[in-house]
Structure formats: C-alpha cells, structure tokens
Structure 1
Amino acid sequence: MKRMLQFLALISMIAFLAACGSDEEGSNAEDSTASEGGETYKIGATQIVEHPSLDRAYEGFQAALEEAGVNAEYDFQSAQNDQNNVKPISDGFVADGVDLIFANSTPSALGALQATSDIPILFTSVTDAVDAGLVPSMEEAGENITGVTDLHPDAIKETVDFIDAEFPDGSVGMVYNAGEQNSVKQVEEVKAAAEELGLTVVERTVANSAEVQQAATTLVGEADVFYIITDNTVVSALDSVVGVANDQDIPLIVGEPDSVEKGGFATFGIDYYTIGYRTGEMAAEILTGEKSPSEIAPEYPPEIQLFINKGAAEEQGVEWNEEWDDAAQFIETPK
C-alpha cells in the first residue's frame, strides 16, 4: 500500500512539472509574439511651414515607414514660417533623444544639422542640398544626413522653355522670399535660362506671406506671365497670387502640382508624396540598422512631367494648345 501511495505521488509530481513546463513555454510564446511587433522608434518631424506640398511629403514619409513595418511615434513641429523657431525645434528633438529627425524643407534640415552630428537626419523638400551645405555632393551623403531633393535638374529649364514656347517674348514676373536660400537658387537658375532665350524676368521680394498679394499686384502691367517657384512663403499664400492672375488674365506658372491644384495654370513638377515616400524608405533602412545615413547617397526626384489645370487656364485667359491634350496630366481645383 505504501509503495502504491509513493507511485501515485510520483505520477502527480510528474504531471505537475509537465504542466509548469507547458505554462513556461506558453509564456515564452507570448513574449516572442510581443517582440515580433518590433521596437517603436521616436521620430522628430519638422517643416518650415504647413502647406500642401510639404504636407504631402510628410504623408509619403509616414506611409513608407508603415509599409516597411517600422513602428514609429512622431513628434511633429512646424516652424510656422518663422526662422527663429527652427533652432529651438531641432534642439528640442536632440534633448528628447529622438531616434531620427525628418527635416522637411531647407531651413529645417539646416537647423537639424546644426543641432546634432549623431542623430540621423533625413531631409526632403530641399532644392539644392549641396549648395545649402547639407551634403558634400549628390553622390555623397553627410555623416549623419541624407535625403531626397524636390528639384529635378531639368525642371526649371523645362518650365522656362515652356514659357518661351507658349508666351514668346514675354516678361516673367516672380515673387519670392529672398531669405529662403532655396528660392534664391531657383531664381538664379530661372534668370540664367531666361537670358538664353531672350526673356525678361521682373522680380519682387517679400519677407512674409502678408506681403505676397501686394507684390503680385505691383507686377501687373510689367509681367506677361507669373512664375511662382517652390518658395515656402509665397506658396503658403498662393491664393492671393491666383486671385491677381485670374482678375488680370495673367497665366500663372507654378513649381509643383499642389499649386496647380490650388489654381496655378501649369508646371513641370513632381509629386511631393513620392519624394517623401522615398525618404521614408531611406529612414526605414537606417532605423532597422541595414544602413547608416552616410551609406545612402542623396537623390533627385525620379522624374518630372507637365501638369495643367484647364479651369485655371480658362480663368487666366490662356489660349488652349491641343498638343497639351496628349502631353499633360490634368489637375482640377476642388470646388
């Protein structure tokens, strides 16, 4: 009888230990499942101002990380088009110990680079990353910074050629903020291209968005065509330029498709969502440890094309060219 009781006790102990082992395995399985979600990275995202093009780039950036399976928490900060806000935003990201900074505009990228040499920085919506001092060349990234520019090498030339072909011997009116380095660079390129074709460029500079409408108005009578480049200050107040162009029958050429949607007539431009998305793909490689920023060369936008707003063309008195029917992608202004 005693041996029988010892045997039963042994059986009970074995069953108990087996159950414990099963529970431990289940616990380990749960831990494994929880870890499959991966680390959550903290990203500081900043842009000089909020307007459709920059917002689209930010959307593309987030989408690329999500599709790559990278978990991210974003701390978004807009400088509200005030250069004085750029440094505190970048310094705040560094103090918070973010894993990566997404700098969406030239001023934002410069501010981030001045704030840190350790945290990876991904830029986009930058016109000339080399001239701005962000990277040594378009074939070589910085130690902790790389990204995608928003100006295709042929965009300005194609646009000026378009103006010359459709509005020959015209004068081109430009409004821009001389405090934006990317804008100064673009205006210089426009003037060089225009000079080769015998076009005249008439300039007005502004310091803030409140001055844009008045600057555009003063060009009436001097400019046959408006050309608004990707200047953050002016684009944030583009409605006021569209109003002048529509009232005075002045064709409004712009720098990107979002401005066409807002009432510009035409552009040889890019989709900002696309460059943001590509920047997000780079960020995913960096955050997951596949590459360091210095191992990813900066890039130009992959392609440009002609975008036209038919409604804006009619509003601005543009004589329709049937060749545009096959050459352009058409965008409508939402009603």
Structure 2
Amino acid sequence: MKKWMKGMATAGIASAVLLAGCGGEKEQKASESDEKKEQVQIGVTQFVEHPSLDNAYKGFKKALEDAGVEAEYDVQIAQGDQNNNQTIANNFAGDKVDLIFANSTPSATSALNATKEIPIIFTSVTDAKAAGLVKDPAKPGGNITGTTDLHPEAIPKTIEFMAKEFEGKRVGVIYNAGEQNSVAQVEEVKKVMDKNGLKIVPVTVSATSEVKQAAESLGGKADMIYIITDNTVVSALESVIQVANEQDIPLFVGELDSVKRGGFAAFGFEYYDIGYEAGEMAAKVLKDGDKPADMAVQPPQNLKLLINEKAAKEMNIKVKDEWKEQAEFLK
C-alpha cells in the first residue's frame, strides 16, 4: 500500500512537472504569438535604385528602430517602370500591410491609386500638391503625407550662384518629362533663370539608357549643366559626370549624394535626413495612432552648399577663395 501511494505520489509529481512544462510551452507560444502580432508589416515601394533614395530608406528604417517599432519590411523596386510601380502598390494593398513607405513621387502616386485606407508615408517627393498627392500640404486630409526633397531655396540659390560666379549663360537641364516632380522643378528653374539672365537648354529622356546621349548633345550648346532631382537621370548620373569631365562643363546637381558621386556642387541636404523624418512620422502613425490626414507635409530642414574639389579639377573649374566662406568642401 505504501509502495502504491509512493508510486502515486511520484506519478503526481511527474504529471505536475509535465503539466507545468506544457503550460510553460503554451505561455511561450502565446508570447511568441504576441510578438508576431506586435510586429508591423511595412511595404516599401521605390521607383529606382540610386544612392539618394537608398539613403532615404536607411533613414526611414533607423527612425522606426529608434522609436522602438518592430517591423518587417517588404522592399520592392520598380526599376524605373511605372507599370511595375503600380503592380507593387496593388500587391501591398491586397496584402493589407500596416503601412506603405513610398520612396519617390511615382511610388507615392501609385500607392495612393492602390489604396485610400492603408496609411502611406512618402519621401523624395518634390511637390506633393502638384503631383496630386495632397490638396493642402499643411492639411493633407487623406491617408497620405510625408517629407519632400525640395527645399524652397535650393533652386533659387543654385541658379543665383551660377549667374554670379560663372560667365556662361546657357544651362543644360536633362530630365524625364514623364516624372511629375521633374516637370514641376523645370518650370521653377525656367522662372528663376529668367530672373537671373540665364537661358535653359532642356533635353528630355524617358529611360536611363538615353541619359549619356542627352548629355553629349549639350556639347557646344550649354556652358553649364544642372541635374535636378530627377530619378531617371540621377540613376545614370555617372554618364553625365563623364561628359562633364571630358568637355569641362561645370555640373551642378540637386542633392548632396550626387556631389559625392562626382557632381561639382549642390545646395542640398542629406536624403538620409528626410527619410529619417518620414520614419518619425510613420512611427507616430503606427505607435500613437496619428492620422496622415492631420500631419503636415514636411520640407527638408537643412540646406547647405557642398562643393567637390576633385570634380572641380576634373571640370577645369577654378575654386575661388570666397566660396570657402559659404560652402563645405569634399576633398
């Protein structure tokens, strides 16, 4: 009898341990399930790959990480094809991701076409109102908002610098007329050049493969080249740099990453920064429940003149001492 009771006691202890183990396993699975629920799904749509857009995405991710947002990212690149762009956006809408990060104007436009419900945060958009993304940048009113890649003083300061510091009057501008952000910039460029006595020499392209030929066509027609923040052209910037170096044409660019790649100068900002600011907005949506409708579109916060000294030598540009008082230099 005592042996039986001892056996029962042992069995009871074993059962308790087993049950405790099962309970622990269930709790662990529940905990893992909770973690999975807490991890948000973010669809990342990017029109093309180039350093500026890539850095914007890095900044976006870092901001969410700093805010403590656990996220799983599905990154899709459209390779400059608008049809691919819309397919990507439609797939994200069908998957019902928690948020879409649209990195470029074409990407944001496609995302908005695909959904009016899923929150969309964009960056690298030049003019959100002109692109039809928002009715009022101060009060977007829909499911989309974000940060822009055009500081209001960037184009005026660049053109004023050209007019004041260089003798040439003809400025070649290569852009994709199919990109709304580029069209808006070129219109602004024309206005400011007229005020400063410069003449725009526009050349349009529809694909990166056309960029080098477009740059070569400016030989003898342009005293300077100005590459705005056009995704198609910036993706093939090395082709323009090669032509500028060979023909000694000063090459102005629209953002600092392009200066680092070999452009002569830019009044610009870091794309990482506007990506980070977009990430902060996304964190407010995902963590605090803020609505894109109530979040104003933000322009870049910092603007500086960056000059690439090596590029200046390649383009036979003499760097003036007075430039050192207003610019940062890249050796």
**Both proteins in one fold, TM over 0.5:** yes
Offset of residue 329 of structure 1: 2.1
Write the distance in 1 (CA, Å) between the matches of 2:88 and 2:164. Answer: 45
Write the distance in 1 (CA, Å) between the matches of 2:51 and 2:24. Answer: 49
Asked whether the equivalents of residues 169 and 198 of structure 1 are also in contact (C-alpha less than 8 Å), the reply is: no
Report the more deviating stretch, 239-248 or 138-147: 138-147
- Corresponding residue for 1:175? 174
- Match runs of 1:78-157 below 5 Å: 78-157=77-156
Query: Which amino acid is the alignment partner of residue 204 of structure 1?
Result: V
Q: For residues 147-177 of structure 1, what are the alpha-carbon distances to aligned partners after superposition, in whole Å with 9 as ceiling and x for unaligned?
A: 0000011110011011111114521111111
- Corresponding residue for 1:261? 260
Asked whether the equivalents of residues 245 and 251 of structure 1 are also in contact (C-alpha less than 8 Å), the reply is: yes
Write the distance in 2 (CA, Å) between the matches of 1:41 and 1:158. Answer: 41
- Match runs of 1:49-68 below 5 Å: 49-68=48-67
Query: Which amino acid is the alignment partner of residue 90 of structure 1?
Result: A
Task: Report the count of equivalent residues.
Answer: 329
Instruction: Supply the RMSD in Å over aligned alpha carbons.
Output: 2.6
- Corresponding residue for 1:238? 237
Asked whether the equivalents of residues 38 and 71 of structure 1 are also in contact (C-alpha less than 8 Å), the reply is: no
Query: Which amino acid is the alignment partner of residue 256 of structure 1?
Result: E
Write the distance in 1 (CA, Å) between the matches of 2:37 and 2:89. Answer: 26
Q: Does 1:77 align with 2:81?
A: no
Asked whether the equivalents of residues 58 and 104 of structure 1 are also in contact (C-alpha less than 8 Å), the reply is: yes
Query: Which amino acid is the alignment partner of residue 162 of structure 2?
Result: I
- Corresponding residue for 2:250? 251
Query: Which amino acid is the alignment partner of residue 74 of structure 1?
Result: Y
Write the distance in 1 (CA, Å) between the matches of 2:280 and 2:287. Answer: 11
Query: Which amino acid is the alignment partner of residue 309 of structure 1?
Result: N
Write the distance in 2 (CA, Å) between the matches of 1:277 and 1:269. Answer: 16
Write the distance in 1 (CA, Å) between the matches of 2:271 and 2:100. Answer: 18
- Corresponding residue for 1:3? none
- Corresponding residue for 2:273? 274
Query: Which amino acid is the alignment partner of residue 321 of structure 2?
Result: E
Offset of residue 325 of structure 1: 2.1
Query: Which amino acid is the alignment partner of residue 265 of structure 1?
Result: F
Query: Which amino acid is the alignment partner of residue 38 of structure 2?
Result: E
Instruction: Evaluate the alpha carbon distance shift between residue 168 and residue 142 of structure 1 in structure 2; reply closer, same or farther with a 3 A threshold.
Output: farther
Query: SS state of the match for residue 321, structure 2?
Result: coil
Write the distance in 1 (CA, Å) between the matches of 2:217 and 2:181. Answer: 24
Normalising by the residue count of structure 1, what TM-score does the alignment of the two structures yield?
0.89
Query: SS state of the match for residue 221, structure 2?
Result: coil
- Corresponding residue for 1:9? none
Query: SS state of the match for residue 153, structure 1?
Result: coil
Offset of residue 41 of structure 1: 0.6
Query: SS state of the match for residue 220, structure 2?
Result: coil
Offset of residue 32 of structure 1: 9.3
Asked whether the equivalents of residues 64 and 282 of structure 2 are also in contact (C-alpha less than 8 Å), the reply is: yes
Write the distance in 1 (CA, Å) between the matches of 2:22 and 2:80. Answer: 56
Instruction: Evaluate the alpha carbon distance shift between residue 300 and residue 48 of structure 1 in structure 2; reply closer, same or farther with a 3 A threshold.
Output: same
Query: SS state of the match for residue 71, structure 2?
Result: strand
Q: For residues 239-294 of structure 1, what are the alpha-carbon distances to aligned partners after superposition, in whole Å with 9 as ceiling and x for unaligned?
A: 11000100111110000111101110000011000000010111111112331111
Write the distance in 2 (CA, Å) between the matches of 1:26 and 1:232. Answer: 53
- Corresponding residue for 1:320? 319
Asked whether the equivalents of residues 100 and 119 of structure 2 are also in contact (C-alpha less than 8 Å), the reply is: yes
- Corresponding residue for 1:6? none
Offset of residue 324 of structure 1: 2.3
Instruction: Evaluate the alpha carbon distance shift between residue 29 and residue 195 of structure 1 in structure 2; reply closer, same or farther with a 3 A threshold.
Output: same
Give percent identity, aligned residues only. Answer: 55
Q: For residues 180-236 of structure 1, what are the alpha-carbon distances to aligned partners after superposition, in whole Å with 9 as ceiling and x for unaligned?
A: 111111111111000001111111111111111111111111111110101111111
Offset of residue 36 of structure 1: 7.2
Query: Which amino acid is the alignment partner of residue 101 of structure 1?
Result: I
Write the distance in 1 (CA, Å) between the matches of 2:308 and 2:141. Answer: 39
Instruction: Evaluate the alpha carbon distance shift between residue 103 and residue 56 of structure 1 in structure 2; reply closer, same or farther with a 3 A threshold.
Output: same
Normalising by the residue count of structure 2, what TM-score does the alignment of the two structures yield?
0.90
Write the distance in 1 (CA, Å) between the matches of 2:21 and 2:236. Answer: 63
Query: SS state of the match for residue 156, structure 1?
Result: helix
